[in-house]
Amino acid sequence: MKEPDILFLIGGPQGGGIESAGQIALKTLVLKGYSVLGTRDYKSNIMGAHSYYTIRARFSRPGAIRFPVDAVVALDAESILTHFTDVKPGGLFVYDSGVLKTKIDSIQPMEKALKDRLKELFASKGLPPITESAIKIAEENGVKLVPLPLRELVRKLAEKTGASLTSVSKAVNTMGLTAMMYLMGVEPRCVEKGIALHFAAKKKVVNINVEAARLAVEYVESNFGGPRETLPDGPHRGKKVMLATGNDLVAMGKLAGGLTFQSYYPITPASDEAIYMERFRYYELSNDAREKLGVPKLGTVIVQTEDELSAIMMALGAAAAGARASTSTSGPGFALMNEAISLAIMAEIPVVLTIWMRGGPSTGLPTKEGQQDLLHAMFSGHGDNPKIVLASGDHVEAFYDAIKALNWAEKYQTPVVHLLDKYLASTTTSLYPDEIDSSKATIERGVRVDDPSEDYKRYAITENGISPFAPIGAKDMILTGLEHTEEGFPTEDPVIRDEMMAKRRRKFETIAREIPPEEKVVLHGDPDAKITLVSWGSTKPIILEALKLLEEKGVKANFLQIRVFYPFPVKEVLDVLTRAETVINIEQNDLLQAAFLIRGFTGFTIKHHIKKLNGRALWDTEVVQAVLEILETGKEEVVVKGGA
């Protein structure tokens, strides 16, 4: 049997239960034994504007979403107008039949540019600028229409449950979702189990939504008939599965890695990481780990600060006192931390900075995707500012990299910048027990002196550049951002300055030498392939999917994933790139920042580039199309533009 590959989206107004509908769908499909991927796309206002959740499910884990999809659920007029061209011929378009006469210009949250494009399209076909015109075009494209009278169904739901219209109105998301999943062959009882699992702590909400699902199924059966066949169960049915976002997994990794202090100032998309930790701040480490760390049973302290500078300064204070410390932010917040990053480098304070990238510059696209902070991470902080910069490529890497970052920070007494992005932050995937295992967390704290002698020197000059660390309070000591002697006394002496600069440089050379090559870069695919794709961060699973699609088309390529950017893995990168006949760089920034670093550190110039700049997730299919275009035409740059 060919592996099912299901792809659909549900769209509606922000605040209208779109996130809940997506999560119910994910849980339903997991209960049926599928591996899933779900990504949430939303705008930066709080309520009303268009939001949608895209889901892919199959037996093996999906690495990417792609368009067109098999089905769309559109719960309002804006969703109809945004996604009517996103469905494959023969696919399902489930929508609210009560909004067909809605005029485009009356939809307040919709972007004017989109309105203008739609009006131009409809006029070219002799159609009026209303929602119904989109439905007619979808039907002409061979899409199966499934109109639902949602207002009527909500009224019936209120009568059946005895609840008010207001209290049951949000259940339209469940109605639309259930109608679509039923027609795709998912048994209603599975959807009901997904509802019960999602709203487990709210019995009344479960009852209302289960009743809403049943009303939707009844209506669909009466008006459209049932599905042609039932969707087969997947191989993971009955197995233990975890659904988690990148935010969740970084939080779990930090907790499993012995984090004792986290500070943050709320910012999208970083806040969810700290919020997750706040829910589990009494997380109990194993007795062995707690004994090694001296962690009190209380667990991790999480502090919401008044601004980003306070967040990093509190983390530095905690780290200097001996805590395992981190802070979490996004690009604009990271910009406000620059002075403190320099302080951490000069004072040799171990701290992890988790950076969730989004579309910039400035406030930019605060809820959209981007990879624009790589150079910022590399060169943040004034003066000579060597630090470790680590980029995670997927959910599993995010978990273990969070642990690794804490270890490296303390072992080398330096800031570690852990780069992630909005796509990982708000994308949910299914994970299995052998993939995420906190018992594999090895905690390294470096050379520590808990009871320093009278002649202890905090900045002792050593051969490897790493001085024994004693927490402030263990004895009288000076911690300063000024250049200093071995004891920490401020100095401007030229000889001592040279010695201290050389000490810090040796430490960085030690880091470069001790991080294993396999942790710096990973080559995916056949090492002898003549085409090499180069990228970093969350493009990893998308490019891995693209490699399979390229092979089906007779194109053999491999993928060089850069994991550690600072210290830059010069030899490892050159070994791969110089073997390839064609090298294609893939990034979600306009300046091609990774390619810039490759050229700067190795002298190798990459001639071909694929980039995506519109803030939407990269698709595997557009990577394939762009690679083929480059191979056929020799183009130096292809900008892909998919996404609503």
What CATH number is associated with residue 545?
3.40.50.920
Same domain, 524 and 510: no
In this structure, is residue 230 part of a structural domain? no
pLDDT in tens, 235-286: 999 999 999 999 999 999 999 999 999 999 999 999 999 998 887 654 445 5
Last residue of a domain, one of 415, 440, 465: 440
In this structure, is residue 232 part of a structural domain? no
pLDDT value at 149 more than 50: yes
What is the pLDDT averaged over residues 585-604?
98
Block residue for tokens 């190795």: 602
In this structure, is residue 238 part of a structural domain? no
Last residue of a domain, one of 498, 514, 530: 514
Range of the structural domain that residue 626 is part of: 520-640
Q: Quick check: 118 and 81 in contact, CB under 8 A?
A: yes
Q: Which of 72, 206, 184, 86 is nearest to 137 (CA)?
A: 86
**Which has more pLDDT, 226 or 359?**
359
In this structure, is residue 233 part of a structural domain? no
pLDDT (0 to 100) of residue 536: 98
pLDDT (0 to 100) of residue 278: 83
pLDDT in tens, 177-204: 999 999 999 999 999 999 999 999 899 9
Same domain, 627 and 607: yes
**Distance of alpha carbon 30 from alpha carbon 240, whole angstroms:** 10
Query: Beta strand 69-74 with 87-96: parallel, antiparallel or unpaired?
Result: parallel
pLDDT value at 610 more than 70: yes
pLDDT in tens, 427-472: 999 999 999 988 888 899 999 998 899 899 999 999 999 999 999 9
For the chain, how far is it from start to end, CA to CA, in angstroms? 33
Q: If pLDDT is split at 50, 70 and 90, which confidence band does 375 have?
A: very high
Same domain, 392 and 474: no
pLDDT (0 to 100) of residue 282: 47
pLDDT (0 to 100) of residue 295: 46
pLDDT value at 167 more than 80: yes
pLDDT value at 290 more than 60: no
pLDDT value at 143 more than 80: yes
pLDDT in tens, 266-279: 999 999 999 988 87
Same domain, 413 and 320: yes
**Distance of alpha carbon 74 from alpha carbon 20, whole angstroms:** 15
Same domain, 335 and 360: yes
Read off the pTM.
0.95
Q: Which of 94-108, 444-458, 577-591 has the lowest mean pLDDT?
A: 444-458
Same domain, 582 and 634: yes
Same domain, 170 and 197: yes
Q: Which of 102, 57, 413, 71 is nearest to 241 (CA)?
A: 57
In this structure, is residue 150 part of a structural domain? yes
pLDDT value at 294 more than 90: no
- For the record, the structure tokens of 478 come out as 């000076």
Same domain, 292 and 364: yes
Same domain, 272 and 407: yes
Looking at the structure of the chain, the number of domains it has is 4
Same domain, 635 and 539: yes
Same domain, 464 and 608: no
Same domain, 290 and 313: yes
In this structure, is residue 234 part of a structural domain? no
In this structure, is residue 276 part of a structural domain? yes
What CATH number is associated with residue 335?
3.40.50.970
Percent of the chain at pLDDT above 70?
A: 97
In this structure, is residue 231 part of a structural domain? no
Return the DSSP state at 611. E
pLDDT value at 309 more than 90: yes
Return the DSSP state at 16. S
What is the pLDDT averaged over residues 228-233?
92
Q: If pLDDT is split at 50, 70 and 90, which confidence band does 1 have?
A: low
Q: Which of 219-228, 536-545, 632-641 has the lowest mean pLDDT?
A: 219-228
What integer best gives the mean pLDDT of the chain? 94
Last residue of a domain, one of 387, 409, 440: 440
What CATH number is associated with residue 164?
3.40.920.10
Percent of the chain at pLDDT above 90?
A: 89
pLDDT (0 to 100) of residue 284: 47
